[in-house]
């Protein structure tokens, strides 16, 4: 099995459709090369606003094609993707939840669970604490403790800092992967990332 000993910084937001596909493709890729994923939740809406970009203002023809293209990705990689009925959503609580789960060493498991809930099971309340607390409970964390940690000042600040760090690193959208300071944007950059992981 090839070894890379590299770290892939993964900048994501649960509200990003392409982050779903990137996560599903990146995890097995990093496992193949024994690389580590460094998860960076960030507020994509804030970054969009900073760049004066509004997703729903995209041309209607592009938006119509978007779902067809996403379904092609679903079929190509045999993923149980399903476009949720409620889109877009507010994601700050889900993002803070990922940071909170670091306390219990469950960040990757939590991220996998919320992406499954929203992008596969159409759980459109994924931005609310009632749903997120249920996911925490499934992972063995008391819901009250989970919510308290999500709302701690240090957790709120950590999300702000992660978003600021993303912008300073040149991140303008999600998903963004960074390896050795080289930026790869989008779910369709896995071939390039694999090539990078193969280098010493």
Residue 123 lies in a domain: yes
Which CATH number characterizes residue 129's domain?
Answer: 3.40.30.10
The Cα–Cα gap between 112 and 158 comes to 20
Helix or strand (DSSP H, E) at 179: strand 176-179
Domain count, the chain: 1
Which residue numbers in the chain have pLDDT < 70? 1-4, 48, 50-59, 63, 200
- For 6, the 3-state DSSP assignment is coil
Residue 75 lies in a domain: yes
Residue 15 lies in a domain: yes
Domain of 122, in residue numbers: 7-198
Q: What are the structure tokens assigned to 98, written together?
A: 């990922």
The Cα–Cα gap between 156 and 177 comes to 23
Cβ(159)–Cβ(41) under 8 Å? yes
Residue-level pLDDT at 50: 64
Residue-level pLDDT at 2: 61
Residue 101 lies in a domain: yes
Residue 2 lies in a domain: no
């Amino acid at each position: 099995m090839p070894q890379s000993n590299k770290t892939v910084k993964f900048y994501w937001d649960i509200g990003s459709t392409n982050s779903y596909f990137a996560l599903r493709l990146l995890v097995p890729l990093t496992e193949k090369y024994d690389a580590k994923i460094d998860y960076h939740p960030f507020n994509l809406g804030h970054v969009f606003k900073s760049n004066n970009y509004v997703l729903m203002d995209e041309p209607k023809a592009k938006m119509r094609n978007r779902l067809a293209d996403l379904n092609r990705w679903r079929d190509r990689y045999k993923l149980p993707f399903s476009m949720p009925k409620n889109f877009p959503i507010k994601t700050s609580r889900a993002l803070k939840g990922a940071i909170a789960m670091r306390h219990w060493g469950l960040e990757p498991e939590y991220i996998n669970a919320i992406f499954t809930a929203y992008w596969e099971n159409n759980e459109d309340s994924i931005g609310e604490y009632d749903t997120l607390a249920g996911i925490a409970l499934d992972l063995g964390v008391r819901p009250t403790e989970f919510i308290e940690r999500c709302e701690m000042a240090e957790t709120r600040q950590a999300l702000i800092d992660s978003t600021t760090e993303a912008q300073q690193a040149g991140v303008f959208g999600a998903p963004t992967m960074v390896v050795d300071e080289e930026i790869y944007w989008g779910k369709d950059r896995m071939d390039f990332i694999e090539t990078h992981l193969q280098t010493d």
